[in-house]
A and B are shown apart, each in its own frame.
Chain A
Amino acid sequence: MKDQIALGIQNVSKSYPNGVKALQNISLTIPPGMYGLLGPNGAGKSTLMRILATLQEPDEGTIYFGNIDVLRQKEEVRQTLGYLPQDFGLHPNARTEELLNYFAVLKGIKDNKARREVVEALLKQTNLWDVRHQKLGGFSGGMRQRFGVAIAMLGNPKLIIVDEPTAGLDPAERVRYLNLLSEMGENSVVILSTHIVEDVSELCTRMAVINKGQILLETEPHKAIENLNGKVWRRVIEKNALPRLELEHVIISTKLLGGRTVVHIFSETSPGNDFELTSPDLEDVYFTVIAQDFRKNLEQEVKEVLV
């Protein structure tokens, strides 16, 4: 495919009736390939994903997928959309093949033979072929997610939106699942929202970090890691030493390891002997961004109080 289509999001905002500002003036350009949208719970990821999937209306902003106006030409978007929501169920009494076939019809695959082939191929790809006659009510979380991928892949979509796909999967299932996702159309725009850093680091060529409705960082994972090179320091401490450390350093993350606490801090220069330089990973990038955002907000609040 030569004419690779990108997704352009311009100044999108959305707030809910209860006052929550889910998205604040978001702008992103998403090229074909796997794109990670990383953020903590409640950051606005799902809202953005639903807007992209034509299920919700932003208050303002424009979204274009190639030439298609996503907010106006919903029908055109849907014809080329594969969407895997964060939370979905399946008709428990329907059988695997039956329901996939149902969706294939809804996705406009009219020809009987072609449809059968597509369904078969997808079930085989997602390793559900052996359970094609089984009722969906008996599916495990992983099987359900794989079935979701199969639905999303129907009709060779150019825009694929996958919302928090790995939540609740056991490690083995997660690995299988990420494999599957990585194989999703390379020529398509694939947006993967998650709060798990590994998902992004393992799969995505580009990523954005979102928090409280704002994009904090838009980058390529390896570049972001490079930027942190030499700035992340590690130290193992007793738990009770943490409060003092917080006052002195910019803490990126704390982690428990064998009953003791491993602290990563951000520092342009060496913070002292107790710390050792560590090679940063994407998690450090993520936590740095979040931590900076947190601090910025805190400062702002302090200022407001003073004014």
Chain B
Amino acid sequence: MKLWETFRYEVVYQVRNVSIWVFFLFLLIITYLLASEVFIDEPVVGGYSLFAPYYIAKVSVIAYIVGILILAPIPGNAATRDIETRMYPLLYTAPISKFVYLGGRFLAALTLGAILMTAIPAGILGASLFPGEHVLLTAPIIPAAYLNAYFLFVLPNTFVAMAFMFAVATLSRRGIASFLVAILIFFIAFASWQLIAVNEGNWKLAKLTDPLGISLIQELKTLWSPVEKNTLMAGTQTWTLLNRLIWCLIALSLLVLTYLRFRREPTAISNKMGKGGRFSKFPTTPEGFHILKDTPIVVPQVQQTFGFSSRALQVITVSIESFKVVMGWGWIAFTCLAIFVFLTSPSWFSDFHHASQLPVSGHLLILLENHTYNAIWFVIPLLILYYAGELVWREREARLHEIIGAAPIPIWISFAGKFTGLFLALVLMQVLMMISGMMVQMRLGYYDFEFPLYLKILFGIRLVDYTLLGLLAFVIHVVVNQKYIGNLIIILFFVIAFYGYLIGIEPGLFVYGSDPGWTYSEIRGLEPYMYPWFVFKLYWVAWALLLAVVANLLWPRGTERTLKQRIQEGSRRLTRQTKAITAFAVMLILIFGGFIFYNTSILHPRTAAPEGEEWKADYEKLYRKYADSPQPWLTAVNLHVEIFPELRAVDIRGRQSYVNRTGSRIDSIHLATALGVENHLIRFSRTSTPKLIDEKLGHHIYVLDKPLLPGDSLHLDFHVSFSPQGFPNYGIDASLVKNGSSVDDAWLPKMGYQKSREIEDPKERSKQGLNPNRMFLPSLDVARMGIPGQERIDFEAVVGTDKEQIAIAPGKLQRSWSENGRSYFHYSTEAPIINDIAFFSADYDVSESQWKSKETGQLVDIEILYHPGHTLNLERMVNGIHASLDYLTKQLGPYPHSEIRFLENTGYNKGMQANPTNVWYRTGYALLNQASDSERVDVTFATVAHEVAHQWWGHQLSPAIMKGNILLIESLAWYSAFEIIEEALGKEKFLDLVHQFQQEYFSPQARSVQPLLKANDHTLIYRKGPLVLYTIREYVGKEQVRMALKNLFKKNAFGSPPLPTPQDLFSELQKVTPDSMHYLLHDLLATNTYWDLKTEQSSASQTKEGSWQVSLDVQARKYTVDTLGVETDVPMDDWIQIGIFDAGEGQKGEREALYLKWHRISSGKQTIKVNLPNKPAYAGIDPSNLLMDLKRGNNTSKVALQQQE
């Protein structure tokens, strides 16, 4: 009865609060937007409906991140209102049990939370019912899906969150503590997903440690097929239930603990909490107290001064006090962050195939401070807004506000002092971040700290951002004057600031604190981002000044609280000084705002390539009709390129030669000019008349006075220059910088309609009124002829750059010289190259060596151009290049050039990209530090081998543009890399790499994919492709596969039509494979086939002769999965390896194979018996995992040894 009454009273009391319904509405809208806008791409691209149970569960989980912050006031209020209103003496003495009091309050909070969170399914339902432009995605509503998402994700989340928040608020007696708990839960969930699952790859652990279920749902994203997403319930998966169970148990035990620890006597808790507290027992009067005294209070007469130095002292005093407030609990949060950084950081520097990297300061700082890399850093803004609220409310919550209000200090002193206190705490936090960053580096054995860089990024860039945010938080708290709502508004603000682009709100003049972004690179430093960043921040500082004035005027001094009263009061405080500051701030806003506007909206659009998608749509709408009009074919390119790194400009003069290789006359030329460049000259070697010059979309049509007959040739002379001025609101192009410029051929004029300009994203296409399904593949016949971009060209270029830099282009360096204070480099090719040109310019160091063919004596100069100091991997790279050239020239054919160059480019990812004769790699690759772990796969070596292999696969053999074509480039280059490693480093390293590929391929892997021959998916091409070739090699033989690849290469290496297709690879493989194995090629390449192989049990008994009789019960199944996820069983009668192994007690601990033979295995259960001379320990089917088996762990089992009879 009493429980019910406590419960009822609490629910009714809180429901009366309007803000709860505002929150409900807010969450409803957020969820609706998440479902209908932010995540809409997933069903659009993934091919499932807006009603799919998976989608409902996913949006529920994501929306809950907002939900949990909304929930915070409820348990905080329920747990501590009695204390904060000082009603507790009445309630604590009422004849109700602790259980009734706490239970009633908690249940009421839980109920309210549960009701509030119905906004989530309601919002999703709204998105499904009003799908807007996405009508195609609708399907019948499955009520069970909403119930499932609500009762298995939303409700348990609410229970867990409520229990944590209620417990902490009750025990700490601070309502707002629940808000900190919400931040903590959010933090744990994100850390589980991003660090444990994504970075560490430990999805199983993450699925348990994630209190909100983000990891659960993110794993299903890749794991499930569209059909599964449409039908299966994420909530009733075993892992989900397990996760829910664990967290509910933790929450429950926390509640029990709260019940046990809760004391009604305030002192007991105060002492235990070490807080002293205002509820402490009265201490006795100190001894020596005189009851009566006649002397009047004699206080020394002191000078009160209110000049500048007093004011300064007051600001300092208030700021120290405020700093202590932030540090009160804040040090725990800061320490947690620092420890978190320290503990998780090693994974940041081994995310690339587990290869460790040098933790250089630049990379570390980007990971630490650039929120786009890691959503965990939202914790810091959350802490800022929390403490801004605490400081604004500090006096009122301590009930000191009347005394302070009557003290002779102007408001700006309080404001400046508190703000400085928060600022000092932020400085301390950054210092802590710096120390933990350096400790991370030391831990990883790196001691080159680059202190100035730490200062620049931590204190120059991030601290400014935090300070601006802190000021906004102060102002919002002052203006809103309602703590929870203030917090919510600020959260809403920075969700918009950081994720607004998902609903079309971009950084710019209207998003407070925003900037065009920045990154750091060893080569170019913080260029070219700092200047725009600085201008933007000046603009926001001006705003901040204005906001500070507003906060000062509306500061709730005294006891007048309503906004109206405060405005009246504020207008009285509007002194001439204040007015002057306001005017000054407004003036700065106008000046800097105007300057930014001029740069972003006038100067930049006029001189740089256009942003956005609109022009692409216009281009497609207007000119797609010319896509099939026959055009001359490029045969030679001769350029004079001037790169001006300081000015960030390029000037290119050149001649391109063409031939009419079609069978018909060409009478008009469609010329695509690059947008954003200035075309100074476009002249053909034949007279022509311009018919259409569309500079805006970069399409020109020239009618030739005399048509170009088949076989006739044509030159185009041109002169273009590119010199972008100003800067954009976001997405600054860093390709031209003081040091480390890279320029591709995008600024050269090209013939024909440019398909590359079309919008790819289906959602964006339909938004722009285009057919969402872009038909970008040409017909097979056209494709096999080769399309523009696939030409083989003779290339020659003179590239000029700054004196101290080296400029690079494809081909052999003929000559280099200095002229007019600039350096020039003349390159030309010795054999036609594919039309894939890029220029680089930087202050490089060069490492030179030479390779000589053992067979033919061919010489190849090897150059590695690297950023000074980045020498860690030079030797490995050279070795890799040597080994690759050895293998590839022997297996496939000679290297067509006499130079090969590797050069470093900016960026911390580990990418490498092969252009003809030039392979460029990112700084991240240069920082790979594998010397320390020689046990592992040599990624450095393998990547080099792969890229050198592209000089054959890709640059000599280039496939027709069609589905699956990349297979012939990437899969084959990786397979070659496999064999290069086998030849150069030995079988063991080779198998290590294979195992790593297997591991990477099978860790959460979508099943419903295209067969390999039609695959475009990255994982399939880069992982499954080489693995499949390895499997074929194991079944058919190494030499046979080599033969097939060699034949494929020899027939297609010249780039002349018809270009090869994946089918050609298939036929070559068929030719070297016995007929009895053709089924395997079909299964591996032509269909998406899986095997489900399992050793149910194995046993062995020793015969009288001493040999061992081994018996394996195996279960086998083979099935195909189509792209929708439909499984079809395929009867099998396949050759599969059966292996029996010893216990692996040898020196290296590897299990030696006692028996490894092919057996015919059919579908279903079967028993295999083998007789062996030695004692077995393990036995299994397909023990090397050659076949595509998603559950590889159960292939092998331990052999049960039976007693001899």
Contact = CB atoms under 8 A, between A and B. Distances in A.
B402 A88 contact: yes
Interface in B258-288: 270, 275-278, 280-283, 285-288
B627 interface: no
B408 A81 contact: yes
A295 to B, nearest CB: 34
Contact of B297 (A109, A134, A184): A184
Given A137-B276, A156-B299, A85 B403 contact: yes
A79 B286 contact: no
Contacts of A111: 302-303
A50 B558 CA distance: 8
Given A55-B402, A83-B402, A108 B408 contact: yes
B309 interface: yes
A90 B1021 CA distance: 69
Contacts of A83: 402-403, 406
A109 B278 contact: no
Given A114-B303, A140-B283, A156-B299, A103 B407 contact: yes
A25 interface: no
Nearest to A98: B321
A57 B565 contact: yes
Contacts of B558: 50, 54-56
Interface residues of A, number: 66
B854 interface: no
A75 B302 contact: no
A130 interface: yes
A256 interface: no
Nearest to A84: B403
Interface string B308-322: 011001100110010
Contacts of B407: 78, 103, 106-107
Contact of A102 (B277, B291, B321, B398): B321
B406 A78 contact: yes
A39 interface: no
B290 interface: yes
A183 to B, nearest CB: 4
A142 B558 CA distance: 25
Contacts of A127: 286, 289-290
Given A125-B297, A127-B289, A138-B283, A81 B303 contact: no
Interface residues of B, number: 60
Contacts of A139: 282-283
A50 B559 CA distance: 8
Contacts of B398: 89-92
A119 to B, nearest CB: 10
B297 A185 contact: yes
Contact of A92 (B277, B285, B321, B410): B277
B107 to A, nearest CB: 31
A56 to B, nearest CB: 5
B681 interface: no
B299 A89 contact: no
Contacts of A108: 304-306, 310, 314, 408
B398 to A, nearest CB: 5
A93 B329 CA distance: 13
B555 to A, nearest CB: 13
Interface in A85-118: 85, 87-93, 102-103, 105-111, 114-115, 117-118
B1004 interface: no
Interface string B380-424: 000000000000000000111011111111100100000000000
A141 interface: yes
A238 B289 CA distance: 44
B280 A138 contact: yes
A73 B153 CA distance: 59
Interface in A180-215: 180, 183-186
B286 A92 contact: no
Nearest to B394: A91
Given A83-B406, A87-B399, A88-B403, A183 B296 contact: yes
Given A75-B410, A92-B275, A137-B278, A153 B297 contact: yes
Interface string A124-135: 010100110011
Interface string A57-89: 100000000000000100100111101110111
A36 interface: no
A106 B317 contact: yes
Given A78-B409, A105-B313, A143-B283, 5 more contacts: A78-B408, A89-B278, A90-B398, A93-B275, A127-B289
Q: Shortest 6 CB-CB distances between A and B: which pairs?
A: A137-B276, A55-B558, A140-B282, A89-B399, A78-B408, A83-B406
21 contacts: A17-B562, A57-B569, A78-B409, A79-B408, A83-B403, A85-B402, A85-B403, A89-B278, A90-B398, A92-B277, A93-B276, A102-B317, A105-B313, A106-B409, A109-B303, A114-B300, A138-B276, A138-B280, A155-B408, A179-B291, A179-B293
